[in-house]
Amino acid sequence: MSHRKLLFFLPFLLCFSLLSVPLYAVENGGIANLRQTSKAFASVAKAVSPSVAFIKVESVQKGAHFPSFPSPFEDDFFKRFFGDRFPGFPQQRHPQNQPERRVMGQGSGFVFKTDKGLMSDTSYILTNNHVVEGADKIRVTFQDGREFDATVKGTDSKSDIAILEIKGSEHPPLPMGNSATLDVGEWVIALGNPFGLSHTLTVGVVSAKGRSGLGINDYEDFIQTDAAINPGNSGGPLLNLDGEVVGINTAIFSRSGGYMGVGFAIPINLAKNIADQLIDSGEVTRGYLGIVIQNMTPELAESFDIDDKKGILVAQVSEDSPAEKAGLKVGDLIVRYQGEQVTEVAGFRNRVALTPPGTRANITVMRNGKRKVINVKIGNLGEDQVVASASTGTADELGLTVQTLTPDLARQFDAKAGQGVVVTEVKPGSVAPMGGIRTGTVILQVNQKAVNSSADFQRAVASGSNQKRVLLLVSDRGMSRYVVLSWR
């Protein structure tokens, strides 16, 4: 090649070389990052595995399923994940006629706290209540092969938390993380004993936070993850890349009977509060307000003429409750609790429940378009408490017929005579059943005005007919909620 031609191609050769170097560096940098992430997973497994326990339980069951095919799945723990009718296993036709028999169950747990001293050498294992519920014998095995008999220190079925107690263990407690700072998309690691396969590690990401309304526990605020969780993982730790516990693996969603990429873990901030109470006193106390609440929807916001759709709506205030004494009212929109924003029912309910009884709490509400701060003394939640011949009238637009509440009807529908009207007929296909209105539903308000007779009801509906929408405050079996019915 001549000198002139070399000078002509030299700029192109330089450009190509400059482009190829960063591409090579990026490729190798990506592989290096993957290796680093892999080492992080291995480091977490090495650090935490000694404190993760395999829990075996024995219990007595009557008429258990699958009597002809004994397996590790013949227990309530397996049914928790896949239901009573798992495909491929025969069903028990007459369980009431079957004799009692001992059934083995399994799960996971981890060392939560230790009490070491001259007078005590105790380790506390944190796990799920459903893993040990009804157990007659509990055996805990660690990775080093050491086994211990365990006793139940305390359980809380409402949050599905249990604390076991073992003597003489030298396994260190796992460090606790902060589940409140966990981000969607962040790497997490599940460690446990699925199907009895000891100390199995799976990895994934946080798919979502604040999952509630699943019907698994009374108090729900689940972390959702795609880290593989299977029967036997229950009670095991969900960890971040620093090896800190951020959750307790509890359940999976499955339609096929197998892992489908959707698992749920109890946030460690919630679990830690419950576990500490169980260790200290063997029981759990929860805060109590005495209100029924519901999430704000665009339809409700429009009906209440609220621009900001954030907050939760007070649908009922219990008589002589801390909320009533403090001045909370039906129709108040709760926007802040103890200075922190309130966005949905489950989170607010959990925060109130975790507030120690006797605490003074500030609740910020929107009432008639104005912000108001209410100071309330949190009560102690009891077992029976929750965080309540007449003329007829017809509303054709809504597709329902109502009747004034007589004393007899009030007793029948858990209502108060003279307060509200009871739905006696619902037209199929109308807007009423679409809004959850059914026969026996008690309507207390129409467009925020009390209706104490069928005549009141008809007038109230007629006055709002031009908007082709009504806001109802209804009560079903003593529980109130707001409903918007529209026939546009």
Whole-prediction pTM value? 0.68
- The DSSP code for 95 is G
- Are 55 and 109 members of one domain? yes
What pLDDT does 308 receive? 64
Among 348, 380, 412, which residue terminates a domain? Answer: 380
Domains contained in the chain, number: 4
Beta strands in 186-242 (DSSP E): 187-192, 200-211, 222-225, 237-239
Q: Which residues contact 123 (CB under 8 A, 6 or more apart)?
A: 111, 113, 114, 115, 165, 166, 167, 169, 171, 173
447 and 357 together in one domain: no
Q: Is residue 275 part of a domain?
A: yes
In a shared domain, residues 318 and 259: no
Same domain, 185 and 261: yes
**CA dihedral over 254, 259, 262, 263, signed as positive or negative:** positive
Q: Which of 215, 246, 281 is where one domain is finished?
A: 281
Q: What number is the average pLDDT over the span 419-430?
A: 81
> Do both 155 and 60 map to the same domain?
yes
Dist CA 312 CA 331 (whole Å):
10
Q: Which domain holds residue 66?
A: 51-84+99-167
Is 207 domain-assigned? yes
With a CB cutoff of 8 Å and minimum separation 6, the contacts of 79 are 65, 86
Q: In the structure, what pLDDT confidence band is assigned to residue 50 with cuts at 50, 70 and 90?
A: very high
Q: Is pLDDT above 90 for 327? A: yes
**Region label for 148, one of left (φ > 0), alpha (ψ between -120 and 50) or beta (otherwise):** beta
Output DSSP code: residue 323.
H
% of residues, the chain, pLDDT over 70: 78
Q: How far is CA 437 from the centre of its chain?
A: 26
Residue 395 has what pLDDT?
65
C-beta separation of 334 from 348 below 8 A = yes
Residues 144 and 188 in one domain: no
Lowest mean pLDDT among 84-88, 138-142, 159-163: 84-88
Q: Other CB atoms closer than 10 Å to residue 300's CB: what's the count?
A: 18
pLDDT beyond 90 at 481: no
Q: Cα separation of 478 and 411, whole Å?
A: 11
Q: Is the dihedral of CA 206, 252, 436, 347 positive or negative?
A: negative
Is residue 10 domain-resident? no
In a domain, 9, yes or no: no
Distance CA 156, CA 384 (A): 16
Is residue 55 domain-shared with residue 144, that is, in the same domain? yes
In a domain, 26, yes or no: no
**Residue 470 belongs to a domain with what CATH number?**
2.30.42.10
CA–CA dist 478, 45 (Å, integer)? 50
Q: Which two tokens stand for residue 21?
A: 């170097």
- From 323, 348, 380, give the residue that closes a domain: 380
Determine the average pLDDT of the residues in 97-110: 79
Contact indicator for 171, 161 with CB cutoff of 8 Å? no
Same domain, 332 and 346: yes
Asked if 142 and 53 count as a contact pair (C-beta separation under 8 A), the reply is: yes
Q: How many Cα atoms are found within 13 Å in the side-chain-facing hemisphere of 326?
A: 26
Are residues 479 and 402 located together in one domain of the fold?
yes
Position 248 scores a pLDDT of 96
CATH of the domain at 76: 2.40.10.10
Nearest to 360 by CA among 348, 376, 374, 373: 376
Instruction: Clarify whether residues 137 and 206 are in a common domain.
Output: no
pLDDT at 179 > cutoff 90 = yes
Considering the domain boundaries, does residue 36 fall inside one? no
Q: Give yes or no for residue 484 having a pLDDT over 70.
A: yes
Predicted confidence (pLDDT) at residue 80 exceeds the cutoff of 60: no
**pLDDT, tens digit, 9 for 90 and up, residues 196-246:** 888 899 999 999 998 876 667 777 789 999 988 888 889 999 999 999 999
Cα–Cα distance, 396 to 470 (Å, whole number): 13
Q: Where are the alpha helices (DSSP H) in 309-367?
A: 322-326, 345-353
Task: Look at residue 1 and tell me if it is in a domain.
Answer: no
**CA atoms 303, 306, 309, 314: torsion sign:** negative
User: Can you tell me the mean pLDDT for 434-459?
Assistant: 81
SS3 306: coil
Residue 457 falls inside a structural domain: yes
Q: Is residue 186 located within the same domain as residue 157?
A: no
- pLDDT tens digits, residue range 331-350? 888 999 999 998 888 888 88
Report CA-CA distances (Å) from 395 to 81, 163, 483. 45, 55, 16
The overall longest dimension of the chain from CA atoms, in Å, is 114
Give catalytic residues, as residue numbers: 130, 160, 234
The distance from CA 311 to its chain's CA centroid, rounded to whole angstroms, is 18
The percent helix, strand, coil of the chain (3-state, each to 5) is 25, 35, 40
Using 50, 70 and 90 to split pLDDT, how confident is the model at 383?
low
Q: 345 and 451 in one domain? A: no
